[in-house]
Amino acid sequence: MRHLRKVKKLNRTKSHREALLKNLAISLFTHESIKTTDAKARALKTVADKLITLAKKKDMHSIRQAFAFLRHKETVKKLFTDIGERYVAVNGGYTRVLKMGRRKGDNAPMALIELTMKKDKDEKKEKK
């Protein structure tokens, strides 16, 4: 029985799973929505929500904890300056997972994971 075992192993070793979730989190925070398999999206949701919760605190310890996991300066900077500010008044529910059907090659269930408060495309164009 798997009582109180919340880690989704995804048929990978611990180091491979951590690297996968790290890369998915960096992609999610960079692009604000990504398409992946359903199982990976659900595993990423817990990781991303924890990182956004750290970004809401905005203290040095939280920045160091986020950098220790992500190891990507630009993403950590965006997480704390841009994404964390959007969710200051919100308690949870930072990401959503939308099912998209099945992949053509191997029939794997696909999902779109995105931030609930995405930037508008008009705002992105104005900043460029």
The closest alpha carbon to 29, from 4, 11, 49, 10, belongs to 49
76 vs 124, higher pLDDT: 76
Q: How many H-runs (helices) and E-runs (strands) does the chain carry?
A: 6, 3
Threshold 0.85, pTM exceeds: yes
Q: For residue 118, what pLDDT band results from cuts at 50, 70 and 90?
A: confident
Query: 3 in a domain, yes or no?
Result: no
CA gap 101, 18 in Å, rounded: 26
Query: 82 in a domain, yes or no?
Result: yes
In 3-state terms, what secondary structure has residue 65? helix
In 3-state terms, what secondary structure has residue 111? strand
Query: 103 in a domain, yes or no?
Result: yes
The total number of structural domains in the chain stands at 1
pLDDT at 119: 81
pLDDT at 124: 57
Q: Give Cα 100 to chain centroid, integer Å.
A: 18
The closest alpha carbon to 111, from 22, 20, 18, 41, belongs to 41
The closest alpha carbon to 48, from 27, 68, 63, 62, belongs to 27
Average pLDDT over residues 18-37: 98
Q: For residue 38, what pLDDT band results from cuts at 50, 70 and 90?
A: very high
- CATH number reported for the structural domain that contains residue 115 in this entry: 3.90.1030.10
Average pLDDT over residues 54-68: 97
Average pLDDT over residues 40-67: 97
Q: For residue 123, what pLDDT band results from cuts at 50, 70 and 90?
A: low
Query: 7 in a domain, yes or no?
Result: no
Average pLDDT over residues 75-91: 96
Average pLDDT over residues 17-30: 98
Q: Is the dihedral of CA 50, 52, 56, 57 positive or negative?
A: positive
Domain of residue 21 covers: 17-120
pLDDT at 121: 63
